[in-house]
A = this chain, B = another copy of it.
């Protein structure tokens, strides 16, 4: 699976689009850039670009939209790491935004990335792109997942509720990334349906594998303390189904994700990504 070229293009575009560190207010721009360039796979923008190409898109207009998705992901991580939330000191092996810039600046850096993402989305000149992303990250998506995640701490929850958390916290923005990529390329309803099905199953599998890695991964490899979910007594798949049970569920989802794509298309990237996700769980 190759996405190094897209990842590097995303890095370049992020650097070009984000206000410079010497532009006022400088501390704010430094905090924003600190978190955006703290590393990361750039999964969401790469998904948008790959879906755009997959649906026949060929221009560079996809990049500001793709970058907006990464900025939203970054904003959500900054707020999620805050003392009042998960209280994480490290993210990808570096001090979290509030550790490096203070809590107030971290809140504002998150807010500014959130707003700037919509400025970039507006450059698409497509209102349905704005609507798609806004719906995916609010009370029917990302924030709903974070609230449910938080409220599940220390509680016994049902399998349905756990699925609801993961679908909203992670799969919603992943699915939206694929969808806006396809929409930017004027995908057909059928194509949009396929890529949505792929995203929902793959996105959920992705979060389940994340849960598994939190239990069995190594601190160094992940760049964050292992077992932090257990420490907060969060609802996770391993907690409910065990590691083997979780692995089985994730494998089925990966199979479903691949099956959602139309045959007789070049789906190689999406197949490889699905395989890669489940292989990480080993």
Contacts and interface: CB of A to CB of B under 8 A. Distances in A.
Contacts of A110: 111
Interface string A12-43: 00000001000111011100100000000000
Contacts of A151: 25, 27
A120 to B, nearest CB: 8
Interface in A78-123: 79, 82, 84-85, 102-105, 107-108, 110-112, 114-116, 118-119, 121-123
A196 interface: no
Nearest to A146: B108
Given A28-B147, A121-B130, A85 B107 contact: yes
A114 B110 CA distance: 11
Copies in the complex: 2
Contacts of A118: 118, 130, 133-134
A145 to B, nearest CB: 9
A75 to B, nearest CB: 8
A32 B139 CA distance: 10
B84 A139 contact: no
Main DSSP-derived SS at the A contact region: helix
Contact of A138 (B79, B115, B134): B115
Contacts of A226: none
Nearest to A126: B127
Interface centre among A79, A84, A131 (most CB of B within 10 A): A84
A170 B111 CA distance: 16
A23 to B, nearest CB: 8
Contact of A143 (B111, B142, B147, B148): B111
A273 interface: no
Given A108-B147, A139-B19, A103 B84 contact: yes
B116 A114 contact: no
A76 B107 CA distance: 11
B115 A143 contact: yes
Given A79-B107, A112-B143, 6 more contacts: A25-B148, A29-B139, A32-B139, A112-B139, A114-B115, A127-B127
18 contacts: A24-B148, A25-B148, A25-B151, A28-B139, A28-B143, A28-B144, A28-B147, A85-B107, A104-B150, A115-B134, A115-B142, A119-B131, A119-B135, A122-B128, A122-B131, A123-B131, A125-B127, A126-B127
